[in-house]
Amino acid sequence: MAIKLAPSILAADFRHLEADCLAAIDAGIDWLHLDIMDGHFVPNISFGPLVVRALQSLREKHSIFLDCHLMIDNPDAYIEAFAKAGAQNVTVHVEATRHLHRTIELIKSHDMQAGVTLNPATPLSTLVEVLPLVDLVLIMSVNPGFGGQRYIPGSSDKIRRLRGMLDAVGSHAWLQVDGGIGPDNAAEVIAAGATVLVAGSAVFQADRPIADAVAAFHAVF
């Protein structure tokens, strides 16, 4: 499975969001990662379906994949809105929904891929029953809510264990990792079993052009 780079637009310059996204697309990224925060599930507020809708033209012109990570309470209430806005994958937290199986079915009923994620302190055992059902599993390698955090070292072992769990059930789901990812630790994360790397600051806030930041990742994989 080819490794995907999915820059988080949370780190982009929102005064020039389209220009930043275009620069990343032209540099050869695979997905755009959209971090949706409500100020309740995580201690930060970002944006909602309107920004997803605003990126629709990029999706249509450049075939870029819109990957939405919902760091919100009661995600079921907003899944239809994100589907209508053009999201292609919606990832929800196991900690934010009471009926995870039902939520996954709801996402898929809107013709989107379904992802599931968990916070650093949440054990992988909470995913066992849904692993055969999902299209993506996200390991948070920082506590969610803010960009620019350092990678939690123990995350690599958690990625390896999740890779083993996915392989054991014959799953072809993407194994995504988000938090503190840069060219310096990308090889470690990939070796542990990741197939999608989310990077925000390392792409959009690096001390170099976006194209050079993306090229640094591609040099690793």
Asked if 67 is an active-site residue, the reply is no
Q: Which member of 20, 38, 135, 178 is catalytic?
A: 178
Residue 50: its H or E element:
helix 49-54
Cα–Cα distances in Å, from 75 out to 48, 81, 90? 12, 10, 10
**Strand 174-178 versus strand 196-199 pairing type:** parallel
Asked if 212 is an active-site residue, the reply is no
**Contact of 111 with 83, CB cutoff 8 Å:** yes
Q: Which member of 35, 38, 67, 135 is catalytic?
A: 35
Give Cβ neighbours of residue 52 (< 8 Å, ≥ 6 apart): 34, 66, 68, 82, 85, 86, 87
For the chain, report the end-to-end CA distance as a whole number of angstroms. 12
**What positions carry a catalytic annotation?**
35, 178
